[in-house]
Structure 1
């Protein structure tokens, strides 16, 4: 049995901007529907959503049949959570609120087996084909991808230090928390926030490190791509459903 190819990581290496969607709804049916829709990647969120390892597992199993790549966002930069999601077969992890080089280094350490890291070893996990990928321990790192989130003023001040850590494969700029950190909570398009995001993307492109963002506004999606963003999420499942349902009810509701 061969080690599965990480399509998201391969996409980053290709230099093509990958378009994704954020998901927060638990269960396999929403994920199956969205995996049919042509996105390069889906975030399976467990930070601001009810997901956990037991709900992420069947979602990963569902997505295995599709070309759309899963990106699992852990609730925190925590070595236990990292270990559990990796053992379930997640190959790309998105870790929130990384503020310093030391925190990025800790995340990398949690992703790697000894002697390069401290990931706990278990032979019969899903990631290893339940023991059928004989060289998994030695080759797992080839297909693992770590994306760290920078989402505060402090993180932006440390951006080059964070992004240059060996084992960090990309940096995601978290616009919501960043707006709050910069003193404009909820206003992701305040000029100061937009300038900070655009500046971060430009700095990452200069470093040769893939930059990512989540934004729902079409003009800003295109602006981020123009600046060189490598992976852009352009919507969220719950928001899409709520807006479409509200528009439909408004169309036919009689007051």
Structure 2
């Protein structure tokens, strides 16, 4: 079954994207079997290298999942190497100006010889500077989705990644409410407890990690196994 993330998001449907936390092909098989829609290949915050991207992408695509890479860099040569891996989409981190979106689209166009429209191009807003130019970034042509990064946003605001600070919660609420009001697709990290609420608020790219999925189940198992 083809679970094209780009098509689903364009149709207003939620997509579950899971970060496996590294290079683990059996984890891709398990995630596909359990119903994930998209493999989030994180080259920014894990040890996954560009050499591992083609194998992860092919493993995902063989199961009908979309393969999306988050780059560690905005460098044109680096982004081109990821596009050459045959991925289905790319997340550009720390976007703070609409010009960066235009550049991403141009790089994608050159790398794919005009097939950039088939890719899911994502701009990540995760700083005070990005928040301040949200409307310009969100309106950049060719960008399919805005991914909100609460953790780095909290760091940018001086709260050392504390996403529960009222100021950070308010900033995330402001970003997502404005995007939803404009009809612009967005995503952010979710849990089983809050995913439904976020979908009702317009979220379409539901990001989570293998660790986030496993922790509550293992904690429940530990509790059940304790005499």
TM-score, structure 1 normalization: 0.80
Is residue 186 from structure 1 mapped to residue 161 from structure 2 by the alignment?
yes
Is residue 137 from structure 1 mapped to residue 134 from structure 2 by the alignment?
no
Partner of 1:173: 148
Shift of the 222–244 alpha-carbon distance from structure 1 to 2, 3 Å rule, reads: closer
Q: 2:38 and 2:84 mapped to 1: Cα distance? A: 20
Partner of 1:59: 56
Runs ≥4 residues deviating over 4 A? 241-254
Is residue 86 from structure 1 mapped to residue 93 from structure 2 by the alignment?
no
CA shift at 1:6, angstroms?
8.1
Native 8 Å contact 2:98 2:140 kept in 1 = yes
Q: 2:95 and 2:38 mapped to 1: Cα distance? A: 22
Which of residues 21, 26, 35 in structure 2 aligns to 1:24? 21
Is residue 214 from structure 1 mapped to residue 211 from structure 2 by the alignment?
no
Structure 1: 5+ residue runs without aligned partners? Answer: 114-118, 120-135
Partner of 2:40: 43
CA shift at 1:247, angstroms?
5.6
Deviations 1:62-87 (A, max 9, x none): 11222322211111222112111111
May I ask how many residue pairs the two structures share in their alignment? 226
CA shift at 1:55, angstroms?
1.0
Q: 1:87 and 1:72 mapped to 2: Cα distance? A: 12
Is residue 95 from structure 1 mapped to residue 92 from structure 2 by the alignment?
yes
3-state DSSP of counterpart to 1:44: strand
After superposing the two structures, state which structure 1 stretch, 149-158 or 204-213, moved more: 204-213
Shift of the 206–240 alpha-carbon distance from structure 1 to 2, 3 Å rule, reads: closer
3-state DSSP of counterpart to 2:113: helix
CA shift at 1:215, angstroms?
2.8
Is residue 197 from structure 1 mapped to residue 194 from structure 2 by the alignment?
no
Q: 1:242 and 1:216 mapped to 2: Cα distance? A: 11
Shift of the 243–143 alpha-carbon distance from structure 1 to 2, 3 Å rule, reads: same
Which of residues 201, 209, 213 in structure 2 aligns to 1:227? 201
Native 8 Å contact 2:125 2:147 kept in 1 = yes
Deviations 1:173-204 (A, max 9, x none): 00100111223223212222112112111211
3-state DSSP of counterpart to 1:67: coil
CA shift at 1:12, angstroms?
1.2
Shift of the 16–153 alpha-carbon distance from structure 1 to 2, 3 Å rule, reads: same
Which of the pair has more CA radius of gyration? Answer: 1
Shift of the 183–44 alpha-carbon distance from structure 1 to 2, 3 Å rule, reads: same
Shift of the 73–145 alpha-carbon distance from structure 1 to 2, 3 Å rule, reads: same
CA shift at 1:217, angstroms?
6.3
- RMSD of equivalent CA atoms: 2.2
Structure 2: 5+ residue runs without aligned partners? Answer: none
Q: 1:218 and 1:194 mapped to 2: Cα distance? A: 16
3-state DSSP of counterpart to 1:83: helix
